[in-house]
Amino acid sequence: MNIVVLVKQVPDSGADRNLRNDDNTVDRGSANNVINEMDEYAIEEALKIKEAHGGEVTILIMGPDRATESIRKALSMGPDKAVHVVDDALHGSCAVATSKVLAAALGQLNADLVICGAESTDGRVQVMPHMIAERLGVAALTGARKLTVDGGTLTVERQTEEGYEVVTAATPAVVSVWDTINEPRYPSFKGIMAAKKKPVQTLSLVDLGVAPTEVGFDGATSAVVEHTKRPPRSGGAKITDEGEGGVKLVEFLATEKFV
Amino acid sequence: MSEVLVVVEATKEFGVKKVTLEMLTLARELGTPSAVVLGGAGAAEALSAKLGEYGAEKIYAAEGDEIDGYLVAPKATVLAELVKRVQPAAVLLASAQEGKEIAARLAVKLDNGILTDVVGLDADGTATQVAFAGSAIVKSKVTRGLPLVTVRPNSVNPTPAAATPAIEQLTVSVTDTDKLAKVVDRIAEQKGSRPELTEAGVVVSGGRGVGNADNFKLVEELADLLGGAVGASRAAVDSGFYPHQFQVGQTGKTVSPQLYVALGISGAIQHRAGMQTSKTIVAVNKDGEAPIFELADFGVVGDLFKVVPQAAEEIRKRK
């Protein structure tokens, strides 16, 4: 099975994150950039399917030059190769334009199965798998907590508010996964060394047949008008329980009219 | 005034979800609200009274297995046809899994911008979003097409405004491509009568400090006394104390209740990402240095196994 895993490089969610003041885009320059955490689960799932059914795993990433760090990190887990869509004109692209670019790249990769994380930790928008599936005219099985592959039939358990749904589709398809699906492996030393020699193909907008005016700020379908830092919360009263902590807690709740 | 389409979120068990009422309230500021019911047979009829109570002047319905038996694609197709026909001033969906997915497909079909996790929307289409774990406030606009936004639950105070909507059944013309992802089963998991996590006015969450799955009864008890939902930190979920659908934080749900009670939760940034826009935060933790106290309006440094039962007893006394 030919599997493509979508990977996004994001600012570390454990650190302070900002938008740039000049163009309102995510500040990636000053941030510690890492692989979107959920994508590691997507990579793990792809590797498990390859181990069970054979095939090839390709990483597809769209991002600036510095995304190469994340490509090597992703490859060190075990995928065979990577494709890096990189073009200065992509800076400022909205989700709709991003899906156009990724769909164009996937069109060249002939994937049976596209796996991605259910959301990225920077935008948390969750729209990419369905946007891509819509463009490619293939099924999207999203929010999987379990994925079963039986020949060309995919079955997922999808978490919902009420419980879960069992959803099936034939390949080709896009599957997005939550972090409940598996436990991603740590790259081995051998894996890290091997990743340095794995092929990374770069594709530009010209290679994909996408016009620069369709992406970036020119092609954006939405725009950030302004952004402000939300003032940090400040802690209020803190008491140490000396036998009356529970009562005092309820007294506070009562003054706030919760009790 | 132009129509504003509100795509209804509802459950079989509880009917119209609160976020739908919030969206109808928001829609009234922008134009004339029309509710769109995409679901199983008879859904619109069952929901119409509630939708009318909150100002839906009209209900568009597309119902049946063709709509409900597949993952979101048929719903997006029907909605796209409706948008082309009525040319609404805006389209609002819930910022939850399905709402975002329908909106995603609609955006591609119409080549239209999309804004998610919106907490406010002005008449000129400027949306307010909270980004980066509640640390930034962003004002955005759709610059191509109509305002297509997904609204985060607990953003607007829902207020009634009676209307008597007529139901218009839409002709369903979904394609084979829309039917590629087939829902073969829907399994309800134990939930009880508690409010849904993202919509609840009160959320009581437990963390690693709760110790084990059995002890979560304490968290549930306090939640029930306060009429709230139960949440859990990632550490608690990863340790198997509580199911994943109740996880609050970076890789779980984002909640913004009136009251958030954190029990045995240290307050790692990934957890704060999911709860720091809550109105009032209360914390109980053994470790007085735990970062959760930096956010808490009221904190108790102490053993939650002593503090929580005492608090529960005190609430019972006052009732």
Handedness of CA A66, A71, A76, A81 (dihedral sign): negative
Q: What is the mean pLDDT of residues B170-196?
A: 89
Q: Which of B126, B258, B296 lies at the smallest CB-CB distance from A235?
A: B296
Q: Is B188 on the interface with A (CB under 8 A)?
A: yes
Backbone angles phi, psi at A139, to 5 degrees: -75, 150
Q: Please give the pLDDT value at position B191.
A: 64
Percent of all residues in chain A with a pLDDT value above 70, rounded to a whole number: 100
Task: Find chain B residues with C-beta within 8 A of A17's C-beta.
Answer: 132-133, 135-136
Contact A246 B293 (CB under 8 A): no
Q: Please give the pLDDT value at position B26.
A: 97
Contact yes or no for A44/A184 (Cβ under 8 A): yes
Q: What is the mean pLDDT of residues A243-253?
A: 97
pLDDT, tens digit (0-9, with 9 covering 90-100), for B235-256 = 999 999 999 889 999 889 999 9
The amino acid at residue A229 is: K
Q: Please give the pLDDT value at position B250.
A: 86
Contact yes or no for A97/A219 (Cβ under 8 A): yes
Contact B132 A18 (CB under 8 A): yes
- DSSP characters for B19-79? HHHHHHHHHHHHSEEEEEEEESTTHHHHHHHHHHHTT-SEEEEEESHHHHTBSSHHHHHHH
Q: Please give the pLDDT value at position B3.
A: 97
Kind and range of the H or E run holding A159: strand A153-159
Residue A147 confidence (pLDDT) above 80: yes
Q: Which of B71, B284, B313 lies at the smallest CB-CB distance from A167?
A: B71
Percent of all residues in chain A with a pLDDT value above 90, rounded to a whole number: 84
Averaged pLDDT score across all residues of chain B: 95
Contact B302 A128 (CB under 8 A): no
pTM equals 0.93
Contact B109 A134 (CB under 8 A): yes
Q: What is the mean pLDDT of residues A191-211?
A: 97
Complex confidence, ipTM: 0.94
Mind telling me how many Å the CA of B192 is from chain A's nearest CA? 10
Contact yes or no for B18/B158 (Cβ under 8 A): yes
Task: Find chain A residues with C-beta within 8 A of B100's C-beta.
Answer: 125-127
Q: Please give the pLDDT value at position B188.
A: 86
Q: How far apart, in whole angstroms, are the C-alpha atoms of residue A177 and residue A116?
A: 6
Q: Please give the pLDDT value at position A13.
A: 83
Contact yes or no for B301/A241 (Cβ under 8 A): yes
Residue A189 confidence (pLDDT) above 80: yes
